[in-house]
Structure 1
Amino acid sequence: MTAGAPAMRLWIAQTALMLAACTGAADACAAEDPIALARAGTAAIEARRFGDALEAFTKAAELQPGDASLCFGAGVAAFMLGQNDVAQTRFECALARDPDFLPATVWLADLHYRAGRLSEAIALYEAARQRSPGERELQPQLDHWRKEQELQSRFHEARSEHFTALFQAPADEPLARAVAERLEAAYWRIGKTLGVYPSRRITVVLYTREQFGDITRLAAWSAAAYDGRIRVPIGDALKDPDELDRVLSHEFVHALVSMVGGRAVPAWINEGLATVLEPAGSHEVEAALGRTDDRPALSTLHGSFVRLSARDAEIAYASAARAVRRLIERRGVAAVVALLEDLGRGAPFARAFHQRLAMRYEAFSALVARESH
């Protein structure tokens, strides 16, 4: 499961409104290039055309070097494209122009957190609180991160060729090494299937079930999470090695999708591909559709599944898996990977889908709906 998407959608909406307000407040010289570019960038963010938004805001920021919101807009677009280094530079640019620009602080801190730089995320929030003591909306997240930092300070590390496993008790080191080894197997199996491999080392954090719930704040049905790191509640994991392999493979695919396609990949593709590429495939998961008449439209499955009930999540995962399996049967896995790569470069989803799958998205959605009944 990919974590954090609902909050991110809310921030995108707030960001679009804020940027629209900034551009709308401009003076009568609305025909000047920076203003027109900022409006185009805002419209592109609202339409989730993040490549267009990055280009527009980057140009606008160059033309109007005193405006923090323009750097911020570029940072949001780069973040959603998975271009983390660019996003960091743009958010830092916004804060250099205006240290009190709170949205840039929030997004930059989130970027650091997802990359495992918890100390940097905390430092940003602490600095913002010191500059604005009356600003209290950051405090709950700051307290939560401090709690996680205290827990993480007690963790040990086990490394394999492509993975770093963090674990708390020294007695858990054999388990951590086993997790890393199983992830290595997933790395080669899934990488060979898709024809792509991660561009950087991946960290997996091993928790007790209670710790996992406290840190991720996900629903009780969640088996694991990926938010820049793979987070797994372990318990007696080695007593059911097949289930451990399933969970680790699933989360590894999320990591790979994030690196290839960025953060704008629809959830049904992300979760469906992760399910289809589990060691045993997706047929058992898809069987849930035989136990209900509910068939959610793909258009309703673009956002994260994290806030769904257990029953609705089961149907959503089954529907996503069936749709992705249908894509692969029709056009092959290479076409799905090409679609992800296009999204990572900023192509609008509907256009990229049509180009790579040789079928309009609306037509495919209708096809899946017909075949599901």
Structure 2
Amino acid sequence: MPDRRALLLALLLYAGTALAADPLTYGAKAQQLIAKGDFVQAIEELKAATSRFPYDQELKHQLAFTYSELAKRDLQAGRYAQAAENFRQSHELIPDSKELVLMHGIALYLNKDYAAARSELLQAGEGSEPLVYLGKISYDTGDLPGALELWRRAKELDPANKVLAGLIEKAERELPVESRMDKGYSSMFDLSFDAELPPGLSGQVLDALESAYNTVGSDLGRFPTTRIPVLLYTKKDYSSVTAGPDWSGGLYDGKIRLPVGGLTEVTPQLRAIIFHEFTHVLVAELTHGNVPTWFNEGLAEIEGRKLFAPKLPPLTGAADKHLLPLADLSRGFSGMGGAQAWMAYQQSFSMTSFMVQRYGWYAVQEILKHLGERADMNKAVSKALADYALDLDGVMREWRESLPAAGQGSEGQ
């Protein structure tokens, strides 16, 4: 009898081992993990399976799919470097997939790894999408004619693409002005400027940009590693290129654009604008565009007003009925008239300055980090200010309570 029990136990152990070694078992377990959203653990399970069964194509494709799904989640969360690495891993498993080459290239572009992105996108075929992103790389790195050529080729393949038509229209508006510009460079900035501008002004602008890089970078905890394009225009050219509102003193749309016509040197006001626009560069890198306008502009105003504070009446409790709704301030300001735009900037500065003074720059950096992970503003504030048990409504309530009574305001509040 003991021999029969020992034999039965041995058979059961063998069956368990055989079952664990079955590719279908690994695949089923990985599917359960994927269904729960646990892609990382599913990848570990499938990597173990493919090392055991290196010739099982189903397991290999399942692993590639899981890497790809994890990469897509990384893209949505703004984790571009991780997304690029996971798309690379997926492509190594399915080397013939043009779609994976394309997605790898897009992730590299979003991470501003332009050389690697161009190399991948050139292998992604002649579809319109690779051409669009190759054009974006050319545009971002200052090759406007090259960008136009690529986008026009893409338009031939996808004539109904309205976004592409907008890119072409914008580039065609900029080309006549930029084609006659001179160039200047510093450690992190590529400067293009109208040849008619006074000699020496471009060098002073570069010095101010380098100063902004260090000062604003310290406040926001971000120091870009990709070169930043900056363009200096006459006022007439600035209006024709940007089509911005009359009250605009500068613009950041992936490139810093500044109207400097009539200036012979960098004034305190221009230096403030340079710091303001450079702040937008960092906020864009940190949040990937997921930021309400009031917070973006408020931070930029804080940095600019350190250098040049306009003589403006402070907000007070008596102005409460004139305050703009937060929903309006979360959208762009460019469609506003001058008076409303002044109120939008002043209120944005007041709210954001209060947050910095009350909770500190580290809390602001945390808010920006959570926005970069695709949290909405309320959730980003709640996470960053968890120690204060505050959400966005609570912060706005504290800000309103901080406003001085009429006649008691101090400049810069």
Task: Say yes or no: TM over 0.5.
Answer: yes
- The separation in 2 between residues aligned to 1:200 and 1:292, in whole angstroms, is 43
Q: Which letter does structure 2 place at the counterpart of 1:123?
A: E
Q: Which letter does structure 2 place at the counterpart of 1:223?
A: G
- 1:219: which partner in 2? 245
* 2:372 aligned with 1:341: no
Deviation at 1:318, TM superposition (A): 1.2
Q: Is the CA contact (8 Å cut-off) linking 1:286 and 1:321 kept in structure 2?
A: no
Deviation at 1:234, TM superposition (A): 0.5
SS in 2 for 1:84: coil
285, 303, 316: which is aligned to 1:259?
285
- The separation in 1 between residues aligned to 2:362 and 2:277, in whole angstroms, is 20
Unaligned runs of 5+ in 1: 1-31
- 2:6: which partner in 1? none
Q: Is the CA contact (8 Å cut-off) linking 1:112 and 1:120 kept in structure 2?
A: yes
1:120-161 C-alpha deviation (Å, 9 max, x unpaired): 4312221123335x5484556425413422332221122233
- 1:119: which partner in 2? 145
Q: Is the CA contact (8 Å cut-off) linking 2:101 and 2:123 kept in structure 1?
A: no
- 2:382: which partner in 1? 354
Of 246-255 and 194-203, the range deviating more from structure 2: 194-203
1:181-231 C-alpha deviation (Å, 9 max, x unpaired): 222233333334444433233222110111111111111111001122211
Deviation at 1:73, TM superposition (A): 12
1:278-314 C-alpha deviation (Å, 9 max, x unpaired): 2247684573677784212334323332222222221
314, 328, 332: which is aligned to 1:300?
328
Deviation at 1:99, TM superposition (A): 4.9
Aligned-residue identity in percent: 24
- 1:326: which partner in 2? 354
- The separation in 1 between residues aligned to 2:289 and 2:402, in whole angstroms, is 29
Q: Which letter does structure 2 place at the counterpart of 1:270?
A: N
| TM-score with structure 1 setting the length | 0.70
| TM-score with structure 2 setting the length | 0.64
1:166–1:199: structure 2 CA closer, same or farther, 3 Å change rule?
same
* 2:274 aligned with 1:248: yes
191, 194, 197: which is aligned to 1:168?
194
- The separation in 1 between residues aligned to 2:64 and 2:340, in whole angstroms, is 45
- 2:399: which partner in 1? 368
Of 236-245 and 248-257, the range deviating more from structure 2: 236-245
Aligned length: 332
Q: Is the CA contact (8 Å cut-off) linking 1:114 and 1:227 kept in structure 2?
A: no
1:313–1:292: structure 2 CA closer, same or farther, 3 Å change rule?
farther
**More contact order relative to length (CA 8 Å, sep ≥ 6):** 1
Deviation at 1:42, TM superposition (A): 10
Deviation at 1:174, TM superposition (A): 1.1
Q: Which has the larger radius of gyration?
A: 2
Q: Which letter does structure 2 place at the counterpart of 1:310?
A: G
SS in 1 for 2:322: coil
219, 224, 233: which is aligned to 1:207?
233
Instruction: Write out the 4+ residue segments of structure 1 that deviate beyond 6 Å after TM superposition.
Output: 32-45, 61-67, 69-74, 95-98, 288-292
- 2:342: which partner in 1? 314
- The separation in 2 between residues aligned to 1:67 and 1:158, in whole angstroms, is 39
SS in 1 for 2:200: helix
Q: Which letter does structure 1 place at the counterpart of 2:193?
A: F
Deviation at 1:107, TM superposition (A): 6.4
249, 258, 270: which is aligned to 1:232?
258
- The separation in 2 between residues aligned to 1:125 and 1:365, in whole angstroms, is 44
Within 5 Å, give how 1:275-294 maps onto structure 2. Answer: 275-278=301-304, 279-280=306-307, 284=311, 287=314, 293-294=321-322
Deviation at 1:36, TM superposition (A): 12
- The separation in 2 between residues aligned to 1:155 and 1:367, in whole angstroms, is 49
* 2:180 aligned with 1:154: yes
- The separation in 1 between residues aligned to 2:350 and 2:188, in whole angstroms, is 30
1:13-42 C-alpha deviation (Å, 9 max, x unpaired): xxxxxxxxxxxxxxxxxxx99999999999
- 2:11: which partner in 1? none
- The separation in 1 between residues aligned to 2:101 and 2:328, in whole angstroms, is 31
1:85–1:302: structure 2 CA closer, same or farther, 3 Å change rule?
farther
- The separation in 2 between residues aligned to 1:202 and 1:258, in whole angstroms, is 12
Unaligned runs of 5+ in 2: 1-61, 406-413
SS in 2 for 1:164: strand
Deviation at 1:101, TM superposition (A): 5.2
Indicate the RMSD between aligned Cα atoms, in angstroms. Answer: 4.3
SS in 2 for 1:173: coil
1:123–1:335: structure 2 CA closer, same or farther, 3 Å change rule?
same
- 1:182: which partner in 2? 208
- The separation in 2 between residues aligned to 1:250 and 1:339, in whole angstroms, is 19
- The separation in 2 between residues aligned to 1:174 and 1:259, in whole angstroms, is 30
